Structure 1
Amino acid sequence: MFKEKYGQQGTKDFRRLERLHQKRARLRNHLRFCLRCRDENITPTSLQLKTPIRTKTAQNIMERAQRALLKERIRNVATKQKQVDNELERRHLDLKRNYKLDKQMEELIKGHMMEKQEKEFIKVKERHIKKLNRLINKKKREEIQDNSTPNSWHNLIGLVANSTYFTYDDTIYKQLEGFAMGNPLSATLCEFFMEDLEQKAIATAPPNYKIKLWKCYVDDILEIIPKGQTGTLTQHLNNIDDTGSIKFTYETETEGSIAFMDMKITRQTDGTLNINTYRKPTHTDQYLLWTSEHPTIHKMSVIRTLYHRANMVTEERDRKQEDKHIQHALKTCRYPTWTINKGKQQTTTERKKQPKQRTRNPERQEPKPVITLPYIRGITEKIRATMKKHNINTPTKPYTTVRNRLVHPKDKIPAGLRCGVIYEIPCKICNKTYIGETGRQLNTRTIEHRKECEKEASRKHTRAAKEEAESTIKKSAVTDHCLRENHVMDWDNTRIINTEQQKYKRWIKEAIEIRRRGCGTMNRDDGVYSLDRAWDCIIEEGRAGGGGWRCPLLPADGRRGRWCAAVGVGLGRPADAGGA
């Protein structure tokens, strides 16, 4: 039939086309199989290597070699498939040009072209999935081996994204739409969604829109489109999202000017654009006051940021006016003249420097140890100078802020349900207390203490067995105290002394509280962390002053213990794990 209609040469061309389709199908199936083996950490039989050596090191080397072979196989198959696709497209064009095709051949070519368009359509999705796998699956397969698959990671993402429970006024709610604010994963997933939506919007936009410029940053988009098409394009964007939860609004230029981010873009009469710094009408030029309780380096960064923005955004002819505005705003915030000049000079110097080329240094030095210090004027500067001599990096943070004092939007968690605490359990009979720490809920740790005490108290002992039990060291110092002294703990008056989520700092704070109480505790040791004796003078001064512990180097404040705990990092050493 083909020979009668298209001749002998046409029949050969069609058969060659069919063979190419079959070859492409085989390559596609093989590529899918290899990708599945890679994702599920399986080595195909044809790539498995054997070695008579059965050591763990040899096995790891063989596994790495097998993964490298699989990676090379995937690359080769993908290259061959791309070559076949290009050959198919070329032959399709030749057939259309040389022969008058019937309906069957048109359907064959149409199917291939639709498949190609589908590949282009899902290319964005594939890019998102690859990026998501790179962000989430941050593990080197050469070093870490497990049984996880991409599907399990995707299921885990769904679990995290749907865990949107929160408590308000003793009532549990769940967010049903959108991603939860504050979730570290939400920003990345929202970015994927918006990128996909923008790609669809631009790809499906009618030709008469002619989008000449599309610049997007988070939720702001700068567009250049034909005049009069703004409302129509906005309606098109709002129709892309099927759920209707994403709505776009627009703002057109006013008197030839429009604001985008920190820029005010003005169209000149000659067709050029003038870019200047944009400030909202409600802007008050209120920045960090020079007299505020912040380190000087933070205040200098305010000056550098303003001048850096002026250098990056403002045109050269408007630079003097912008400099005057910055100086007036900083002087209103009580910045001395020398700080303004120094910040401006630093910005100019950085601008003239050539960008450094990043090179891989095989002999890279170990990173500097970091200790974050709360800023207390006159004290933090001295500690930073001392730490700098020992090559220790000491960033600072504000110690007391208005936000910490006044803003408490979340419901207060009951003491028994709080995690990461240093707690105190008093004795009903004597004045001794037990100091402990836990990263779990306080109720969980208290119940463990209580069950062990009740278990030992319920046993019936003879005199010899009782003496033997008293001589045996129990797991907890609370149990030892109750068993040897025949005392009862006051479980109802268990209280939280301090809170700390980081385990290492929590150990330090526990050691400080134990050392501060001295013989008034029933603890067997000073805690997991061995606090340096250099702190004894400060602790003794605070104990002699009566009441709470106060550091003589700092102003009187009930939170001094937290500061000393933070500064104490690196001044002691962890003791043998065993706990108090």
Structure 2
Amino acid sequence: MDVESLFTNVPVDETINIICDKLYRSDDAPFAIAEDCLCHLLRACTKEVPFYGPDGNMYTQIDGVAMGSPLGVLFTNFYMGTLEEKVFSLHPELKPPIYARYIDDIFINTNSEANVLQLIQTFRNHTSLNFTHKLENNKQLPFLDILVQRSTTSFTTEVYVKSTNLGFCLNAASECPEKYRRSVINSFVKQAFTHSSSWPTVHKELTRVSQMLANNGYKKEEIDEIIRRHMNYHFRADEKQDPQQEIHLYNKNFMTSAYSMEETALKKIIHNNVKTVDPNFQIKLIIYYKSKRTSSLVLKNNCHPPTTALQEVNVVYQYTCNHGDCSRRPSTYIGSTITTLSKRITAHLQDSAIKKHHVTNHADINFTRKIVEENTVTLHKEPNKARLRMTEAVYIHTKTPSINIQLIHESSLPSSRRQNDTR
């Protein structure tokens, strides 16, 4: 069974009353927020949310929950759960032996289609929602992404793939964090184990998934390694083994084309400078990404202090070295960054032409972040990425920074070319 357009048709006022009854008039401990305050907040987040229509005018949705709203699943589950309790308490004879619901999709096991139609009609008598149904075909019925097959005494399951599925997924060559690529393989492989009730169906799904991932550019070795890891998890001898103890460090970042370099620099900093007191624990850095566009949609007026030079993005910058022999003829480096200048300096501290210049020419001076920050200035700001690269090239051509020139000469050597070609 399926509830048609449940999110946009759930009665908001009735559901708010149901939520308040469950929270404030039950045997559980009283809720910390006052009832009238919670009701006001729930109405403000559902019935007073403005949106633009196709005609360009602004509207508010007076009933139903907007698709994508964080309250959508909460409201639908509260309303449907109460409706089910009411129907099955008044008509217990209609409750099928198996009744399972995931938001608006319902799986039931009953003797005939007449029983299904009677149950649907009873639901309709107690709500304004509309219900549809679909019967099994050749003892098979797809439910969400699982194909359920019925035998005389039991059910078997396997992964359900629609006939319209063309086998597309995130391509291996996509510009995204490495963990996103691995999560694609992990999700498909894990689904083969969790959705299949027998090893032949697991093998069948893993064969299909391996071919699909290979068609999307993933390496066979990488796919096989993740499959082996899942197999070892299912077949390991000691199931009672204590999980590995980890200390999670979270870092919120903004997705840019330089994400890989930033992640590497952050991991090096944590690895080199942070140690656990207890050797039984290990540190795990978890980097998550947030689009800059989200904050600009929510808040247009920025009340924060002006951005410092180190927090500026999309800039061409110049570093000047005044140490040792460079004090008579300063060595300079010009570069550009689409991330903050502060993050770019962090990358320079790990591995860069600037660091190599210091190590080679000023080994007696400790190369620190303070040195780089104090000797770096912004030459130009340019939000357009293509123009930013061109502006950087113009500055390098006109100012002929010595560190850049040395880097270009080194990369033109035969040994350097062979190394670059290997990369």
Match of 2:169 in 1: 287
Alignment of 1:203-218 (within 5 A): 203-205=89-91, 207=93, 209-218=94-103
Alignment of 1:183-198 (within 5 A): 183-198=69-84
Match of 1:344 in 2: 227
239, 262, 274: which is aligned to 1:380? 262
Q: CA deviation at 1:339?
A: 0.7
Q: Which has the higher strand share?
A: 2
Counterpart residue type for residue 419 of structure 1:
L
287 and 355 in structure 1: CA distance in 2 versus 1, 3 angstrom threshold: farther
CA contact (8 A) 1:277 1:310 kept: yes
Q: CA deviation at 1:396?
A: 4.7
Q: Provide the rounded CA distance (Å) in 1 between the counterparts of 2:29 and 2:269.
A: 37
Alignment of 1:169-568 (within 5 A): 169-205=55-91, 207=93, 209-227=94-112, 228-241=114-127, 244=128, 246-268=129-151, 270-314=152-196, 315-351=198-234, 352=236, 354=239, 368-376=249-257, 379-389=261-271, 390-391=273-274, 393-397=285-289, 419-421=299-301, 438-439=302-303, 507=307, 512=312, 534-535=372-373, 539-540=377-378, 542-543=379-380, 548=382, 556=389
Counterpart residue type for residue 225 of structure 1:
T
- 3-state SS in 1 of match to 2:203: helix
Structure 2 residue runs of 5 or longer lacking an equivalent are 1-16, 275-283, 318-340, 343-368, 392-423
Q: Provide the rounded CA distance (Å) in 2 between the counterparts of 1:287 and 1:557.
A: 34
CA contact (8 A) 2:18 2:78 kept: no
Counterpart residue type for residue 202 of structure 2:
R
156 and 256 in structure 1: CA distance in 2 versus 1, 3 angstrom threshold: same
- 3-state SS in 2 of match to 1:162: coil
- 3-state SS in 2 of match to 1:251: coil
- 3-state SS in 2 of match to 1:368: strand
Aligned length: 308
Q: CA deviation at 1:549?
A: 7.0
CA contact (8 A) 1:371 1:393 kept: no
Deviations for 1:298-343, whole angstroms, at most 9, x for unmatched residues?
A: 1111111111111112121222222211111111111111110111
- 3-state SS in 2 of match to 1:274: strand
Counterpart residue type for residue 172 of structure 1:
M
Deviations for 1:254-309, whole angstroms, at most 9, x for unmatched residues?
A: 111111122111123x4332211111121122111111111222111111111111
Counterpart residue type for residue 191 of structure 1:
N
301 and 170 in structure 1: CA distance in 2 versus 1, 3 angstrom threshold: closer
- 3-state SS in 2 of match to 1:236: helix
Match of 2:407 in 1: none
Q: CA deviation at 1:159?
A: 3.2
TM-score, L = length of structure 1: 0.45
Deviations for 1:202-228, whole angstroms, at most 9, x for unmatched residues?
A: 222362x35101111111111112213
CA contact (8 A) 1:290 1:333 kept: yes
179 and 273 in structure 1: CA distance in 2 versus 1, 3 angstrom threshold: closer
Structure 1 residue runs of 5 or longer lacking an equivalent are 1-121, 140-147, 422-437, 440-502, 518-529, 559-580
CA contact (8 A) 1:374 1:380 kept: no
CA contact (8 A) 1:293 1:398 kept: no
Q: CA deviation at 1:125?
A: 7.3
Q: CA deviation at 1:167?
A: 3.2
Q: Which has the higher helix share?
A: 1
Counterpart residue type for residue 194 of structure 1:
M
Counterpart residue type for residue 312 of structure 2:
I
187 and 239 in structure 1: CA distance in 2 versus 1, 3 angstrom threshold: same
336 and 511 in structure 1: CA distance in 2 versus 1, 3 angstrom threshold: closer
Q: Provide the rounded CA distance (Å) in 2 between the counterparts of 1:386 and 1:345.
A: 29
Q: CA deviation at 1:251?
A: 0.6
Q: Provide the rounded CA distance (Å) in 1 between the counterparts of 2:116 and 2:309.
A: 61
295 and 419 in structure 1: CA distance in 2 versus 1, 3 angstrom threshold: closer
Counterpart residue type for residue 37 of structure 2:
S
TM-score, L = length of structure 2: 0.60
Q: 1 or 2 for the larger relative contact order (CA 8 Å, sep ≥6)?
A: 2
- 3-state SS in 2 of match to 1:184: coil
223-232 or 157-166, larger mean C-alpha shift: 157-166
Q: Provide the rounded CA distance (Å) in 2 between the counterparts of 1:342 and 1:124.
A: 47
Q: Provide the rounded CA distance (Å) in 2 between the counterparts of 1:300 and 1:179.
A: 34
